């Protein structure tokens, strides 16, 4: 935890130092400020990102001891390689600063939600049945739009595991990730980080519930049906007690006051200089970078743990390891994926790339990258590319609102719908597509559930169960629409 606090401090220091450093680099290199901040990375700079993905996939499988001991060093080391190349070879501060800002926003929100929800112990004392599990998953999909996929995942994963304590199987956790940690959050900007970034850019708050509702309903229903069929076949029992289990059929909650910390976290999300004029911000590269919100969120993380119900913390077997793992893995992902996102974004904005931009390519392109990159920056890059193809800029709120509203730019509503649905839905394809995936996996493993490896998750669950549903969504909403 101390390392995490140090890293956040270091990142805020870098943000504060950015304008001075950028000026020195520009003068020293005899370049204009625009060239200095926006120099492009060559193709080979994606190697650290690919290497990190390969190690995330193979480490727990082939060299587990080394990986669990050294993954922070690996992630930080590869991140420093890329950031160092940007700063000292390309003289490009633009990419690292924005990656740092997005990472700090990402980890501050996840930390607040994870720690605040860790102080809430929900116990459903009844016999697990497929129908009861379906109801809990559906409830999670709904509340994910109110407290985010991270909040819903951290609030419900432990009760879900306790409910199924005598019949735990990996598929239970995987479908929880599919439904609660990802697809469930497609209806509001609070639900999932990419949609929240779209809201900050200018997409109206109600846009997602208006345009994503049918896709959300169909995907959630299909997943719940598949889950129900699988769960009906689960006849395993693993109770080793001497006395027969007796259920009260009651739901008990400890740590109710931590719901207040969750409410504060959701409220803090809107303390953003791009939403509320006058909120202090770091002005950089023509944009306002939030830091007040992040200070509030990290304070909530600290105080929610400091004043949490100790019985709830103990009953939840609460540990900082899941958020620690996410913090280190995703700092590596955010920093090393800069060249990959840059190359894709630049190609999409080129004349040749612009000709290829349709709602179909946006759906599969955004989705494919959201599965292996973090889906929030992927969303922004594809939104920027699709708007650039129409001569608009994602940096202008009025143009983003016009793009979302339709009638100004060609097929803009359909394009934005394809980007939004794909970013959220495909985030469930791998453990690294969305932040909560890794945390849910880590919590399950701490309890003793043997979760599938990176490739096992993909081959045994994502491809046979999730990918066909994503294909059905494409067929219904995009495939036959005129280009």
pLDDT tens string 301-333 = 999 999 999 999 988 888 898 889 889 998 998
Segment 84-92 long-range contacts (CB within 8 Å, at least 24 positions apart): 85/41, 85/45, 86/41, 86/338, 87/25, 90/39, 90/40, 90/41, 91/25, 91/26, 91/29, 91/31, 91/36, 91/39, 92/36, 92/37, 92/38, 92/39, 92/40, 92/41
SS3 of the chain: helix, strand, coil, percent, to 5? 70, 5, 25
335: its two tokens = 């920093």
- Cα-flanking dihedrals φ and ψ of residue 253, to 5°? -130, 130
Provide the pairing of β-strand 281-284 with 250-254: unpaired
Q: Which sign, positive or negative, has the C-alpha torsion 458, 462, 468, 469?
A: negative
Q: Does the predicted TM-score (pTM) go above 0.95?
A: no
CB atoms within 10 A of CB 126: 13
Q: Which sign, positive or negative, has the C-alpha torsion 97, 103, 109, 115?
A: negative
CB atoms within 10 A of CB 71: 20
Q: Give pLDDT, residue 376.
A: 83
Q: Give pLDDT, residue 56.
A: 87
Q: Which residues pair with 288 in a beta bridge?
A: 283
Q: Which of 25-29, 278-282, 453-457 has the lowest mean pLDDT?
A: 25-29
Q: Where are the alpha helices (DSSP H) in 89-206?
A: 94-118, 130-163, 170-179, 193-201
The C-alpha angle 167, 172, 178, rounded to 5 degrees, equals 175
Q: Which residue has the higher pLDDT, 13 or 338?
A: 338
Q: How many CA atoms lie less than 13 Å away from 85 in the CB half-sphere? A: 18
The number of residues in the chain equals: 483
204: its two tokens = 């109206």
CB atoms within 10 A of CB 311: 12
**Predicted confidence (pLDDT) per residue in 27-78, tens digit:** 433 433 444 445 678 889 999 999 998 898 888 878 888 998 999 999 999 9
3-state secondary structure of 249: coil
In the chain, DSSP finds a helix count (H) and a strand count (E) of 22, 4
Q: Give pLDDT, residue 239.
A: 52
Q: Give pLDDT, residue 444.
A: 93
Q: Give pLDDT, residue 36.
A: 42
Closest CA to 22 of 13, 35, 11, 9: 35
């Amino acid at each position: 935890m101390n390392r995490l606090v140090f890293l956040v401090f270091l990142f805020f220091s870098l943000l504060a130092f950015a304008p001075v450093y950028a000026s020195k680099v520009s003068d020293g290199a005899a370049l204009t400020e625009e060239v200095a901040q926006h120099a492009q990375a060559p193709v080979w700079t994606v190697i650290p990102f690919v290497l990190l993905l390969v190690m995330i996939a193979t480490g727990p499988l082939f060299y587990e001891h080394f990986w669990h001991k050294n993954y922070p060093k690996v992630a930080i080391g590869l991140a420093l390689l890329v950031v160092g190349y940007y700063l000292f070879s390309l003289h490009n501060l633009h990419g690292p600063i924005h990656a740092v800002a997005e990472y700090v926003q990402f980890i501050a929100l996840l930390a607040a939600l994870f720690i605040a929800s860790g102080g809430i112990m929900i116990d459903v004392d009844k016999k697990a049945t497929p129908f009861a599990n379906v109801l809990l998953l559906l409830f999670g999909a709904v509340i994910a739009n109110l407290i985010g996929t991270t909040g819903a995942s951290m609030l419900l994963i432990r009760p879900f595991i306790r409910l199924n304590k005598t019949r735990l199987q990996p598929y239970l956790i995987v479908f929880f990730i599919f439904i609660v940690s990802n697809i469930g959050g497609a209806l509001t900007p609070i639900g999932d980080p990419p949609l929240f970034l779209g809201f900050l850019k200018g997409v109206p708050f109600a846009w997602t519930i208006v345009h994503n509702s049918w896709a959300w309903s169909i995907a959630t229903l299909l997943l719940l049906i598949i889950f129900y069929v699988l769960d009906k076949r689960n006849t395993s029992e693993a109770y080793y007690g001497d006395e027969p289990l007796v259920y009260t059929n009651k739901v008990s909650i400890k740590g109710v006051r931590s719901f207040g910390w969750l409410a504060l976290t959701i409220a803090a999300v809107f303390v953003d200089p791009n939403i509320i004029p006058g909120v202090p911000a770091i002005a950089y590269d023509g944009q306002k970078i939030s830091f007040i919100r992040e200070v509030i969120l990290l304070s909530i993380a600290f105080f929610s743990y400091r004043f949490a119900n100790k019985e709830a913390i103990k009953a939840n077997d609460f540990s900082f390891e899941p958020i620690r793992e996410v913090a280190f893995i995703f700092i590596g992902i955010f920093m090393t994926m800069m060249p990959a996102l840059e190359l894709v974004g630049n190609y999409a904005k080129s004349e040749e790339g612009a000709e290829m931009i349709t709602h179909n390519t946006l759906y599969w392109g955004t989705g494919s990258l959201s599965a292996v990159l973090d889906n929030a920056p992927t969303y922004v890059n594809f939104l920027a590319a699709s708007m650039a193809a129409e001569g608009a800029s994602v940096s202008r709120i009025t143009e983003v609102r016009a793009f979302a509203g339709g009638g100004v730019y060609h097929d803009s509503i359909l394009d934005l719908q394809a980007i939004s649905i794909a970013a959220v839905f495909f985030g469930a394809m791998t453990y690294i597509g969305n932040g909560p995936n890794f945390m849910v996996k880590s919590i399950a493993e701490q309890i003793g559930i043997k979760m599938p490896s990176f490739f096992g998750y993909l081959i045994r669950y994502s491809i046979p169960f999730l990918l066909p549903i994503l294909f059905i969504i494409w067929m219904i909403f995009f495939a036959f629409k005129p280009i």
